[in-house]
Homo-oligomer: A and B are copies of this chain.
Amino acid sequence: MNKKLILTFLSSLLCLATFAQQALWGGDNIISPEINPDKSVTFRLKAPKAVTVQITGDCVSTQKMDTPYGVFDVPGAVDMVEKEGGIWEYTTGPLAPELYSYSFIVDGLKMMDPNNVYMIRDVASVTNVFIIEGGRADLYKVNDVPHGTVARRWYDSPTLSKTRRVTIYTPPGYETSGKSYPVLYLLHGMGGDEEAWIALGRTSQILDNLIAQGKAKPMIIVMTNGNVDQEAAPGESSEGFYKPSMQLPRTMEGSMEKSFPDVIRFIDSNYRTVKKKSGRAIAGLSMGGFHSLHISKEYPDMFDYVGLFSAAIVPNENVQSPIYDNLDEKLRVQFSKKPKLYWIAMGKTDFLYQSCVDFRQKLDAGGYDYIYYETEEGHIWKNWRIYLSEFVPMLFK
């Protein structure tokens, strides 16, 4: 063991690192995205042979997509400009605080930014992400505050004859406090899974931050998988690495609602929970809002707090399930038991907007208490992060 050997070892590691990054990955120390002091953002891509390079994402532009089912807001694309050394560049104007996503399009081919390792999967699409600090977006950042624990666990669902994966956030101090905590059950939309709220929704960051600010009570968050034919998110079950798709069977035909008590039973027997209606909330986005509506009315003594985020609030009458029968009567029973909060949030341009208007008219006609919260834009994660951060402070007070 001599000094020469030692120096060689350390140099080798550093050399290998530098060499591998430069030679193999073309990573000429390009910074992308670079967030400038005025909160504009510069994107860079080294592509000397490209003819056209564009960037697409909610950080550069939004365009209207006309479909037979309405007009949707989707990310637009803008051209990047070639600079010295084959590096293409684009700088946005100053951006409002938000978690943004983007991809590059090189000669028509969508690709991720090779200089940005931060990316999130949404169903079958992966995009790069970055955060512009400030305002509400500071809730989406990891800040220097006490952090909760995020666990991926498996539970038995006798109703579905499956073991299933679930993502569970426990608040800072849970493990050692000896106290009991209320629980928010948080449900994803069509095509999502038990990873959606933690990845796209920034749930653990939002909770850590709201709890640290004293704005939310410490609570457990249970993020289930609403696709009852799945044991777990794509790649996390014995089905292996298959290509995810949106068209999942058995998502809105009663099984999720019917099997939900399996989850509650597991959580109540494995965690120190407040095991009563006043200690339980349920909320979901889109399809998860549909599930939250039906689960909460099906078990009217189970949840004192209900959140419908851009919810698909209409029952699916294509499928026969006792779950969806007698909606009006079940709502009457649910509201007669006076839930502490029934919260409906919707974006102005959401393609589900009108069905939400109709549903609120039904609630109004019944004289039922609810709170309605409306935002700009439509059926997008930006809104669901806003809704979560608005909903959570109202719980368990």
Query: Could you tell me which A residues sit within 8 Å of B by CB distance?
Result: 1, 3, 5-21, 23-27, 31, 45-51, 56, 65, 67-70, 72, 74-75, 106-112, 114-119, 121, 123-126, 129-131, 141-144, 146-147, 149-154, 163, 165, 172, 175-176, 190-191, 232, 234-238, 240-241, 243-247, 252, 270, 286-287, 312, 314-318, 327, 351-352, 354-355, 358-359, 362
Contact of A315 among B1, B18, B176 (CB under 8 A): B1
Q: Is the CB of B19 within 8 A of A125?
A: no
Could you list some 6 contacts between A and B, CB below 8 A?
A1-B359, A1-B362, A11-B69, A17-B246, A115-B243, A117-B125
Q: Is the CB of A111 within 8 A of B108?
A: no
Bound: A10/B315 CA distance, A: 10
Q: Is the CB of B119 within 8 A of A126?
A: yes
Which residue of chain B is the closest to A45 with respect to CB atoms?
B109
Bound: A72/B19 CA distance, A: 11
Q: Is the CB of B21 within 8 A of A124?
A: yes
Bound: A5/B67 CA distance, A: 16
Bound: A9/B316 CA distance, A: 9
Contact of A19 among B31, B45, B67 (CB under 8 A): B67
Give every chain B residue within 8 A of A129 (Cβ-Cβ): 241
Which residue of chain B is the closest to A271 with respect to CB atoms?
B175
Q: Is the CB of A117 within 8 A of B107?
A: no
| Nearest chain B CB to A39 CB, angstrom units | 14
Q: Is the CB of A358 within 8 A of B26?
A: no
| Nearest chain B CB to A202 CB, angstrom units | 12
Give every chain B residue within 8 A of A16 (Cβ-Cβ): 67, 69, 72, 351
